[in-house]
A and B are shown apart, each in its own frame.
Chain A
C-alpha cells in the first residue's frame, strides 16, 4: 500500500541541487521543513528559544550531511531531517538533565509553559470565539467536556443527550469552522500571527 506523503522526487532534486552548490536549494529545503522541525522541537521542549536552537542546529547538521554526501537515500530526506531533529532534541534533554543536577535549588529553574500556552495567541482566541458563536449550547458542552474536562465519550453522550457516534461529527464540524475562522483572522492580520511555514511569531 502506498503511503500518503510528498513525492520523493522533489526531495531528491533538492539534495542534488544542494550538493551542486545551489544556495537557493538550501533555502527551499529550509522553507519546506523548518516549520515541522520547529513544531516538533517546541512540542518536546516547550520552550520557544530552545525550539529555535534545535531548528538551527538541525538544519546545520542536515545541510552539512547533504553537502558531504552522507545522506543514504535522498528520497527519504524527510525521515533524515526528523531523525536529526530527534537527535538534537535528545542532546538538549541530556543537557537539561545535567543542568538540573548542577542546580543548587530546583526552584530556580524556570517553569515551562503548558502545551496550550505554546499554541495560544490572540488570533486563536478570536477564531475560537467566532467558532463558539456558531455552536449550539449542546455542541459547546461537547467541546468543553471532551477537551477540557476530558470525560469519556459515553459520559459526554449521557450528559448531553447526543449519540456517542455523533460526538465525533460535532468535534470535526467545530474544528472545520475554527480553521475557516482562523484563516480569516490571519488574512485580516497577515504577519501578526504564528507563521506555519516559519513556525515562529513574526511580531
Chain B
C-alpha cells in the first residue's frame, strides 16, 4: 500500500473507523508498522475521532443545527417559508415606516388636536361659568317702569344699576285697546345710536311689556327707548320713553 492510495481512499480514517475490508486492513497494518508518518497520522485520527464523538455526545458540536434542521424539512414547505419571510419583511418595512414617519406625524396631529380640545374645554368652561352666573338668582334687580311723556322738560325714567348687576328690567305699560299682538323694542343712545333691538315681544298678564337687558349694554347715560307694534301690520310706534342709567 502506497501513500497516494492511502490518501485517495481515505485509508487512515476508514481504518480508525473499522470500515476497511480485512485485506485492506492487513495491508494498511503492514504499511503503518513500517511508516512513521502514517502511524502518527493514524494515532491523530483515532484521537480526533474519539474527541469529535465525545464532543457530539456532550452537545458541543451543535453548529448551525437549527438551520440544518430547517433544511431537512420537506421541499414543499420551502415556498410557504418564502411567503412567510416576504410577509415578515413587508411587515418589518411597514412597521419601520409607521415608526419613523407615520407615528411622529400622528403624534403631532394628536398634540394639536389635544391643544384644540383643551382650548375648547376652557372656552366651554368659561361659557358654563357665565351661564351658571346667568341662571343664578340675582337679588336687588334694577327695575324701571317706563312712563311715556311729551314734555321734554319732564325728568326721564331713571334706573340705578348697582355694581355686579347682570341685567336691567324694563317694564312698559300699554293701553288696553291695542291692536298689536307682538311688539318691537329698540334702545338708542342720546346721539341716536342703536344699542339693542328686541322683537316678537308680547304683552304679559298685566297687559304690559316686560323685558330685561344685559346691564353691560347700558353704561351710565341717557337713552331713548322706542316701542313699536309689529303684528298685525302695518307697524307703528306705540310709545317712546326717555331713560337715564346711573351707576351709584
Q: Which of B35, B53, B60 contacts A132 (CB 8 A)?
A: B60
A144 touches B63 (CB 8 A): yes
Complex contact A141–B64 (CB within 8 A)? yes
Known: A6-B36, A82-B29, A148-B61. A196 touches B43 (CB 8 A): yes
Taking the complex as formed, is B247 at the interface, i.e. its CB lies under 8 A from any CB of chain A?
no
- Picked from A143, A168, A182, A196, the residue with its CB within 8 Å of the CB of B52 is A143
Q: Which of B65-73, B132-140, B213-221, B226-234 contacts A (4 or more CB under 8 A)?
A: B65-73
Residue among A5, A79, A168 facing the most chain B CB atoms (10 A cut-off): A5
User: Pick the contact of B51 from A128, A136, A137, A141 — CB < 8 Å?
Assistant: A128
Q: Is B3 an interface residue (CB 8 A)?
A: yes
* Closest chain B residue to A76, Cβ basis: B34
The CA of A144 and the CA of B43, in the complex, are separated in Å by 20
Whether B63 lies near A140 (C-beta < 8 A) is: yes
Q: A40 near B64 (CB under 8 angstroms)?
A: no
Chain B residues, Cβ within 8 Å of A4: 2-3, 31, 35, 37-38
Interface residues in B57-88 by Cβ distance below 8 A to A read: 57, 60-65, 67-68, 71-72
Contact assessment for A35 and B35 in the assembled complex, using a CB-CB cutoff below 8 Å = no
Give A70-121 interface residues, CB cut-off 8 Å to B: 78-79, 81-82, 115-120
Chain A residues with a Cβ closer than 8 Å to the other chain, count: 53
> Contacts A6-B34, A6-B36, A137-B64 hold; do A124 and B56 have CB atoms under 8 A apart?
no
B152 to chain A, nearest CB (A): 113
A139 at the interface (CB under 8 A from B): yes
Distance, CA A1 to CA B33, complexed state (A): 19
Q: Within the assembled complex, what's the spacing in Å between the Cα atoms of A196 and B45? A: 13
A10 to B58, CA, bound (A): 46
Q: How large is the interface on B (under 10, 10 to 19, 20 to 34, 35 or more residues)?
A: 35 or more
The answer to whether the Cβ of B193 comes within 8 Å of any Cβ in the partner chain is no
With contacts A6-B35, A82-B33, A117-B50 known, is A138 near B44, CB below 8 A?
A: no
| Chain A contacts for B62, CB-based, 8 A | 140, 144
B33 surroundings in chain A (CB, below 8 A):
33, 36, 78-79, 81-82
Q: Among the listed A35, A82, A182, which residue makes an inter-chain contact with B30, where contact means beta carbons less than 8 Å apart? A: A82
The answer to whether A127 has its CB under 8 Å from any CB of chain B is yes
Do A137 and B34 have beta carbons less than 8 Å apart? no
Contact B61 A78 (CB under 8 A): no
Q: Which of B38, B55, B72 contacts A159 (CB 8 A)?
A: B72
Residues B54 and A125 in contact, CB atoms below 8 Å apart = yes
| Apart from A139-B63, A159-B68, A178-B44: 13 A-B pairs, beta carbons within 8 A | A5-B35, A82-B30, A116-B50, A116-B53, A120-B47, A124-B51, A125-B54, A137-B64, A137-B67, A147-B53, A158-B71, A160-B64, A168-B10
B residues sitting closer than 8 Å to A (CB atoms) are 1-3, 10, 13, 18, 29-40, 42-57, 60-65, 67-68, 71-72
12 interchain pairs, CB-CB under 8 A? A3-B2, A115-B49, A117-B50, A127-B47, A131-B51, A132-B55, A137-B63, A141-B65, A144-B63, A147-B53, A161-B71, A182-B44
